[in-house]
């Protein structure tokens, strides 16, 4: 039987209490870097943080797409790089992020999702922000749990809605409960593909995490919890750090 995404079958849940955030006028900037493996729910939490603190969610994927659409000098460099099948260099990616962080909507802070990916980018970000405070939050989920989590994810081939299903669910025996379409597993969610993505993530993320781990503004959140509890834990950490800065 299909489940709402992120809710284990047969387990009721209630939203944990979350205190209202301080208004932008009564707090400093909320500059957050979210780190986490693919399948950790990092993107979902970035969106929630952006809504809670009224700050932009800045993902590297969107930065790259926006630069290409804008046709700027940086955008043309990105387009040329991607057309060749090459990786965007540290310098170019940093220039793009620097330009994005200089836009007016980041005055009250931002949530960075997907940057920095290297220690060189992390050092460059430190230089870009200067004395402005920054919080780095790692959403931690063991690899085996991510493989299992991604393995239960299905996409309807008709309405395109992503859903989580029970481990014993067979996608050929039951239609999408919303439109009757077929529920299929994306190639990216195949166990071997997920393991490869996690290994790639570990190679670049471990040095970046080591770069930040000793800082008082670095924190780890258990990503195995329900998404609402993860959101509450992240918000509590940020609010505590903000209170220490004021």
The residues annotated with a catalytic role in the active site are 42, 117, 153, 186, 197
41: left (phi over 0), alpha (psi -120 to 50) or beta: left
In this structure, what is the dihedral angle of CA atoms 65, 54, 7, 171, given to the nearest 10 degrees?
A: -20
Q: How far apart are CA 45 and CA 30, in angstroms?
A: 15
Q: How far apart are CA 155 and CA 161, in angstroms?
A: 6
Is the Cβ–Cβ distance between 231 and 19 less than 8 Å?
no
Q: How far apart are CA 85 and CA 77, in angstroms?
A: 13
Six-digit token pair at 98? 């620097």
């Amino acid at each position: 039987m299909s489940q709402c995404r992120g809710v284990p079958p047969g387990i009721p849940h209630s939203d944990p209490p979350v205190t209202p955030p301080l208004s932008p006028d009564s707090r400093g900037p909320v500059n957050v870097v979210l780190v986490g493996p693919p399948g950790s729910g990092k993107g979902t939490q970035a969106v929630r943080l952006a809504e809670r603190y009224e700050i932009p969610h800045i993902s590297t994927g969107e930065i790259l797409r926006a630069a290409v659409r804008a046709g700027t000098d940086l955008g043309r460099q990105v387009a040329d790089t991607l057309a060749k099948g090459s990786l965007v260099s540290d310098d170019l990616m940093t220039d793009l992020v620097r330009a994005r962080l200089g836009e007016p909507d980041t005055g009250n802070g931002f949530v960075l999702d997907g940057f920095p990916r290297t220690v060189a980018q992390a050092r460059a970000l430190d230089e870009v922000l200067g004395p402005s405070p920054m919080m780095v939050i790692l959403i931690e989920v063991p690899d085996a749990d991510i493989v299992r989590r991604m393995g239960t994810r299905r996409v309807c081939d008709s309405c395109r809605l992503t859903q989580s299903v029970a481990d014993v669910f067979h996608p050929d025996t039951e239609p999408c409960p919303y439109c009757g379409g077929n529920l299929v597993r994306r190639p990216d969610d195949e166990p071997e593909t997920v393991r490869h993505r996690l290994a790639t993530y570990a190679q670049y993320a471990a040095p970046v995490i080591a770069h930040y781990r000793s800082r008082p503004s670095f924190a780890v959140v258990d990503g195995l919890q329900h998404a609402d509890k993860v959101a509450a834990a992240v918000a509590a950490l940020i609010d505590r750090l903000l209170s220490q800065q004021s």
